[in-house]
Chain A
């Protein structure tokens, strides 16, 4: 059991590293000038409180930003924040025991962004760009959140517990009758991400990324995987797909985080969120393996 747990933790860490790496590369690829960090832009943007009240089209906002050179448009900023949030939620799924408070806060942020994008009409724009996707005008519900929470809430309480708590029994009934959410509601975030990819990368990379996300979400839909190994074996394939992408990206882009982020270096031994905080040594090691293969 012990070595199994070790493998489990290692694989969890592996996925966390790769997701973070992927996200970092995503950000770097969007940078328009050397040495300028994406989130630094975002910070500037948010400080100026550029939350649009009326939607006269993108040109207006970009016009006002013209004076601020090299800062991506508000839409791009917002998109980036949305992507970051979705990656974080994805990580939540991979964590052994997701922190519910954090998940809820991130999901609320995602919802906020998507509400704004809907009002914006940006959502519709993305909708028309992609083809053959299911109902996108529906906002992403907290399905993502729900999945991890539902897994937690599966009424599998230890039978010996004889609490006075009446609603425990009703909980069990409720949880088992909750319908499994479909994959369609998570089409939306994938499309947003694919939009970003389209700008910079060839179609096939987009396909790979989507495919890996598909696999991840579908895997997690399995209510109770027969064994945890099944869960991981499916996800493993997705990383081989990411591999080609990453190798391609590696050559032209700056790895991971820029100077500004060094200050806010990923905490290695902090009291937040348990097992999956990255060990940077592991990250280097894993990246080496990926690049070489």
Chain B
């Protein structure tokens, strides 16, 4: 299934068919590609990965962690001499994006944890990305330097100024090659616009603006302007006592630069058109998506598990996907009253909701992602399991990101959770799942079948098995 390719998606010429052969229904088999991160059992909190994002071409993969650092991996170019390292990702750049801050007025610490990273499409030799913590968004420029100028007139090789009387002749500085150096520099800092914690940022298809969303408000920024933002959504009630719903995620439509969606803690999605009301969108929305509740499954936890933790448009822009605690739903933008597809991620947890409420796992925010052709979706679960759902064939697979299955090109074996009394060999019971090992962040290469899965402090990369 080919998706409409825009000028910014992948390289022209790569039609981007992901999955098996063109028309075949061959199931994608995944093999281990790489794992990044320390092996120790003792995980330093700062090393926990908090966001993963491929850039528009898939050549760069960025991760953010709780310590405020960003690590960018670059895909090795295939060369005839080293076919083995085809498609491997190696560290390209590492930098400290955010530092911990202390808000003196409120006596509160502001965490440096990177909540989201979003790439900008590449427009020149340098790469740009937006990274955000709870309060501040930064635009970073990552550029390469592989030449340096030599033979300056006014300063010598060390950089010290030369004595004027020593300059007896003029010369033109020449460029000499040097070891590749990748530099990251902060170009813009967008601060002081959010009272609450930022949960999402999304770059607009006009490449000039982006939105940032916190629990109660969404702001629109221009990439060039840091001292001003436009508030486009505000759901803060006049009386905070009446607060019952918060914004959980927001995203711009991939093609229509005036359209964005935001999801809420009550399981609703609102699609807004910025053309309809320039000054105050507030409660106004063009479309309101909500699935009616099933009265037979109502419990005290119904609302909590309906809270949407992530919303993602398909590449085509025709659908959007939402993730709530137990399921992933695909919505057709033209149908507001119910999703067109619902996939159960870990239904076996429904009977454990009270325990999960007690240990706070019920509040875990899982992300979800589409593959390049929108034919398959992926999301994470517990015990370092992650799930893929093929929309056409309704085939779903459970895989595990673990060190045990981390041999080069080893094929990942599908896992199964035992929900009945009798446990078969290789199955795992619900009670022996490790709820500390959660896969919240996953990313799919924009065109190829390469997936990045963040398991606490390790980043796993899996690739489609190639015959």
Contact = CB atoms under 8 A, between A and B. Distances in A.
B240 A271 contact: no
A42 to B, nearest CB: 4
Given A49-B296, A104-B244, A167 B307 contact: no
A102 B231 CA distance: 24
Interface in B92-126: 102, 105-111, 113
Q: Kindly name the residue among A84, A145, A167, A270 whose own CB sees the greatest number of chain B CB atoms within 10 A.
A: A270
B238 to A, nearest CB: 7
B354 interface: yes
The majority secondary structure among interface residues of chain A is helix
B351 A43 contact: yes
Contacts of B350: 47
B352 interface: yes
Given A97-B108, A112-B300, A261 B228 contact: no
A36 B312 CA distance: 42
B277 interface: no
Contacts of B108: 96-97
Nearest to B432: A263
A228 B107 contact: yes
A187 interface: no
Interface in B294-352: 296-301, 303-304, 307, 350-352
Given A142-B241, A149-B240, A272 B353 contact: no
Given A46-B353, A101-B307, A272-B360, A260 B192 contact: no
A151 B215 CA distance: 15
Interface string A80-119: 0100100010000000110111101101110011000000
A142 B107 CA distance: 23
A244 interface: no
B243 A163 contact: no
Contacts of B434: 263
A264 B241 contact: no
A263 B433 contact: yes
B406 interface: no
Nearest to A170: B238
A274 interface: yes
Interface residues of A, number: 70
Given A51-B298, A101-B246, A101-B265, A267 B196 contact: no
A20 to B, nearest CB: 10
B185 interface: no
Q: Kindly name the residue among A113, A161, A264 whose own CB sees the greatest number of chain B CB atoms within 10 A.
A: A264
B410 interface: no
Contact of A272 (B229, B238, B300, B364): B364
Contacts of A43: 351-355
Interface of A: 1, 5, 39-40, 42-44, 46-47, 49, 51, 78, 81, 84, 88, 96-97, 99-102, 104-105, 107-109, 112-113, 141-143, 145-146, 149-154, 156-158, 160-167, 171, 174, 178, 181, 228, 260-261, 263-275
Given A146-B240, A164-B228, A269-B48, 15 more contacts: A5-B102, A43-B355, A101-B246, A113-B300, A149-B240, A150-B240, A158-B192, A167-B231, A178-B240, A260-B355, A261-B358, A264-B358, A269-B45, A269-B436, A274-B113
29 contacts: A40-B355, A44-B351, A46-B300, A46-B353, A96-B108, A102-B363, A104-B265, A105-B303, A108-B303, A149-B243, A152-B106, A153-B195, A153-B240, A154-B105, A156-B106, A157-B195, A163-B227, A163-B231, A165-B193, A260-B355, A261-B355, A261-B358, A264-B358, A265-B436, A268-B436, A270-B48, A270-B364, A271-B66, A272-B363
* 7 A-B pairs with the lowest CB-CB distances in the bound complex, closest first: A161-B192, A42-B354, A156-B105, A100-B215, A165-B231, A47-B351, A264-B359
Interface of B: 43-45, 48, 50, 66, 102, 105-111, 113, 134, 191-193, 195-197, 215-216, 219, 227-231, 234, 236, 238-246, 248, 265, 296-301, 303-304, 307, 350-361, 363-364, 431-436, 438, 440, 456
